[in-house]
Amino acid sequence: MKLFKTAAAAIIVAGLATPAFAAEITKPECIAPAQPGGGFDLTCRVAQTGLQGQFDTPMQVSFMPGGIGAVAINLFNTTRTDDPNAIVAFSSGSLLNIATGKYGQWTENDVRFLATAGADFGAVVVRADSPYEKLSDLMDAVKADVSSVVFGAGGSVGSQDWMKGALLLRAIEQDPKKMRYVAFDGGGESIAALLGGSIQVYMGDVGEMVSHIGTGKLRILGVMSDERLDAPFADIPTVKEQGYDAEWTILRGFYMGKNVSDDAYNAWVEKFKAAYASEEFAKLQKEKGLLPLNLAGAELDESIKQRIANMREIAREAGLIQ
């Protein structure tokens, strides 16, 4: 094994005990910061199955509910700051909690973002008979009179879904605080409201639109990804390519304690990169309803910190934080 060879070489050169790179990851564990059965559980199962065979022992999944991730981030900043064995599941909701200060003193600089499990992307959705045939039609209407358009989604003001709408308004220099937004209890209720005419625009997710494609009831005006997605969304333009700088990735991934060694962190990174290269991992993502967004290491860490900075700026503009 490459890991063994690296360790052996280090021992010969240094003449010391086996270094951390080889010995640290002895009991791999994924922390799901919620009760079993939810999105964090799903994220950990992706790691558990996707990295199967890369460790000498099976990966354990542990549950740590409390504050939608608050209890976990506190533990990994007080007790397990340098634990080389443990990774913690996070989502875009976790990042939003960091941006809006819901984790107290802990910020994006208090963890090491490690790798992604996969992603979903925001979608701007209207009824098939909507007068907004293109995204530009909707944006022109908002520019003319922001109060004339009713947005809605399955989350309250300040939530991920609200943030998608805020980003759209911000892209045309409109104040997110002026957005007419109706909060519903989940995507199903939101889509029913859209079809019933209670709202005009649904700020949804691409993944949940799969079952609606071809029904003739809904139209996706734009996908909030950096690049066009594969089928069945290949014909739908991104919001960005239509001239509006608004992107929203619903990200699922993992972080580690901020004091974990570079050796252990990099060992995990390499294991995820190896998994990303396999057909089995792609199949696993599809089975779990995730789209492939495979990033690990410094590239991911930098991307997420920029994402949180953008969230924080929008939240401040909207008066959600000081």
Domain boundaries defined on the chain: 2-119+250-317, 120-242
Query: Are 262 and 147 within 8 A, CB to CB?
Result: no
What's the DSSP call for residue 108? G
How far, in Å, are 108, 160, 179, 320 from residue 307 at the CA level? 10, 12, 22, 17
Per-residue pLDDT for 22 more than 80?
no
- Dist CA 50 CA 182 (whole Å): 38
For 2-119+250-317, CATH gives 3.40.190.150
Specify the pTM. 0.75
Per-residue pLDDT for 288 more than 60?
yes
Fold match between domain 2-119+250-317 and domain 120-242: yes
Mean pLDDT of the chain, nearest integer: 88
Tens digit of each residue's pLDDT (9 = 90 or more) over 133-161: 999 999 999 999 999 999 998 878 888 88
Q: For 269, phi and psi rounded to 5 degrees?
A: -55, -45
Nearest Cα to Cα of residue 78 among 111, 52, 100, 108: 111
Tens digit of each residue's pLDDT (9 = 90 or more) over 65-97: 988 899 999 999 999 999 999 999 999 989 999
Domain 120-242: CATH architecture, name and number where available: 3-Layer(aba) Sandwich (3.40)
State which of 50-59, 137-146, 226-235 shows the largest mean pLDDT. Answer: 137-146
Nearest Cα to Cα of residue 214 among 303, 119, 282, 128: 128
- Dist CA 262 CA 217 (whole Å): 51
* Residues 96-112, mean pLDDT to the nearest whole number: 94
Give percent of the chain above pLDDT 70: 93
